[in-house]
Chain A
């Protein structure tokens, strides 16, 4: 556990903030850190930059993340990690599909891919215009960005998977990367599989130890640990994860089924 200070806080949307810390990292896009707020809790959060100042982007949605939203520049937090397996860049023409707070690790991936001279197309979706994340950041590094919102307030009205369907009718890609609601990722995989595009998904499960010892982040089918063998899995692995798109385990290990499909 290292303790570091918050250097900068950027308000991305009403409920999403980016925190930049005094500590440096050199990691893989898709890896995560455990962030400790003393006397509060410790939770897993993805790196939204793979290199340089340690940076995370957080959606306030519960006790811990709401507390994060109250933190100020100069406040101290503890960091463990980076942990897990990140995205592997394959080919030259990459497609990223991100929904909501799934976009941060993909933005880190886009940075690295562009650094390596790859072409990046990103489909970014959100519920409404004000929640769209990192569109400017992605455009600024030279990525082609296609946006959509559930309510049509920005980009195309509809889901990322609708945009994806249209896009894949006209173009193809060397590989695809997706992070966001699991139901979305299930549909992305269906489409990319049909087109034969190798795809990597970033999965979320209840992470406690973060180092592969406690077993709380296990996925059924393979028994793999999301914190160790994940959070990024390849499509051929996901096919063997029988709980993908169906359920996840909560803090006690009790199965919680995803709503609607």
Chain B
């Protein structure tokens, strides 16, 4: 019998396959559906801020090459206060709920993180990396010192585990990961979507309402995998791999690169909401065939 359960910062996961932030995560009922019907082992909310945000004008999404998407939703969210009741519904899904927080200042990050803790989130993931909104994520995640300080500030303000979600649009992601570790982060999520754009040649105009956005999906998997490999080599805190994971083979690659768990987003597009169940089955099949009994046995073996 193959066992693919895992644990991250003391949070038990029946499989390593979590829902990534910003995917079907703006309402509790949706998160619950992904847990119950989809089979996700944990669900991460849409990134929440202090105030409601309508986000960017459309198009907010355009399909890209090789199953990729370029998106610029623009952190549309109802603000954390609206999520008190959404989180209660999400928790009915019976799996850990992780609140994603962003802020325009340290104080805002702290405010959102504390609220999410009081609403019963199992952990908070800091969105340091969202490339679309001029002043926030990119600003923090692209500066080693700011990343350190925001993680430290939030760590000092909440008791639940704090995850930091990183961008690969930096010269050295390992440096940022190390800074987060020094600041006391409990886990690192790598990576968020990569800065990208699409131009329509009929009109000569950028397609996205925000002109630029973030690339996600299978086309970024090799980049994400290499980031996880590089980070786990230098950093001791657990790493959650994210970026293009669509099959059981993809997920196993991330585990073998050293990831503790995985997050899945764009894969839902091609494989539907039940992708979490499908990938779990595929992982078990491959592991069975290769004679692997559990994830600990293969974690990081590519090093």
Complexed CA–CA distance, A211 and B67 (Å): 13
Minimum Cβ distance to chain A for residue B26 (Å): 4
Assess the A254–B24 pair: CB atoms within 8 A.
no
| Residue A142 is within 8 A (CB to CB) of chain B in the complex | no
Q: Pick the contact of A41: B52, B79, B203, B209 (CB < 8 A).
A: B209
A78 interfacial by beta-carbon distance below 8 Å: yes
Closest approach, in angstroms, between the C-beta of B51 and any C-beta of chain A? 9
Nearest Cβ on chain B to A22's Cβ, whole angstroms: 12
- Using a CB-CB cutoff of 8 Å, which residues 54-89 of chain B contact chain A? 54-55, 57-63, 69, 71, 73, 76-79, 82, 89
Q: Say if the beta carbon of B155 comes within 8 Å of chain A.
A: no
Asked if A218 and B59 sit within 8 Å, CB to CB, the answer is no
Which residues 79-119 in A have Cβ within 8 Å of B in the complex? 80
Question: Among the listed A38, A40, A208, which residue makes an inter-chain contact with B60, where contact means beta carbons less than 8 Å apart?
Answer: A208
Question: Helix, strand, loop or mixed for chain A's interface?
Answer: loop
- What does the 1/0 interface line of A43-59 toward B look like (CB < 8 Å)? 10000000000000000
Whether, in the assembled complex, B219 has its beta carbon less than 8 Å from a beta carbon of chain A, the answer is no
| CB interface residues, A 226-261, toward B, < 8 Å | 249-255
CB proximity of B86 to chain A, nearest CB, Å: 9
Give Cα A34 to B207, complex, Å. 13
Alpha-carbon separation in the docked complex, A3 to B269 (Å):
23
Which of B27, B53, B62 is in CB contact (< 8 Å) with A1? B62
- Give the Cβ gap from A162 to chain B, nearest Cβ, in Å: 34
* Cβ–Cβ < 8 Å partners of A34 in chain B: 58-59
**Are B77 and A213 in touch, CB under 8 angstroms?**
no
Q: Any chain B CB within 8 A of the CB of A215? A: yes
Q: Is the CB of B207 within 8 A of A252?
A: no
A218 touches B30 (CB 8 A): yes
Given A225-B24, A252-B76: A208 touches B202 (CB 8 Å cut-off): no
Contact B78 A80 (CB under 8 A): no
| Inter-chain contact A216/B26, CB cutoff 8 Å | yes
The answer to whether A251 and B55 touch across the interface, beta carbons within 8 angstroms, is: yes
How many of A's residues come within 8 Å of B, CB to CB?
37
Question: Which residues of B (13-67) have their CB < 8 Å from a CB of A?
Answer: 22-34, 46, 52-55, 57-63
A38 to B63, CA, bound (A): 17
Mark A203-219 against chain B: 1 for CB-CB distance below 8 A, else 0: 00000111111111011
Residues of A close to B198: CB separation below 8 A:
1
- Using A252-B77, A253-B77 as known contacts, say yes or no to A80 and B59 having CB atoms under 8 A apart: yes
Which of A38, A213, A215, A255 is in CB contact (< 8 Å) with B266?
A213
Instruction: Determine whether B200 belongs to the interface, using a CB cutoff of 8 Å to chain A.
Output: yes
By Cβ-Cβ distance, the 6 closest A-B pairs, closest first, are A42-B58, A223-B33, A223-B29, A215-B24, A251-B54, A3-B202
Sample 26 A-B pairs with CB under 8 A, ordered by A number: A1-B59, A1-B63, A3-B202, A3-B203, A43-B58, A78-B207, A208-B61, A208-B76, A211-B269, A213-B69, A213-B265, A213-B266, A214-B22, A214-B61, A214-B73, A215-B30, A219-B29, A220-B28, A222-B33, A223-B29, A223-B30, A223-B31, A225-B30, A249-B26, A253-B82, A254-B79
12 more contacts with CB within 8 A, not counting A40-B57, A213-B71, A221-B29, are A3-B200, A41-B57, A78-B200, A210-B61, A212-B269, A214-B22, A214-B71, A218-B29, A219-B29, A225-B30, A249-B26, A252-B53
CB within 8 Å of B: which residues of A?
Answer: 1, 3, 34, 36, 38-43, 76, 78, 80, 208-216, 218-225, 249-255
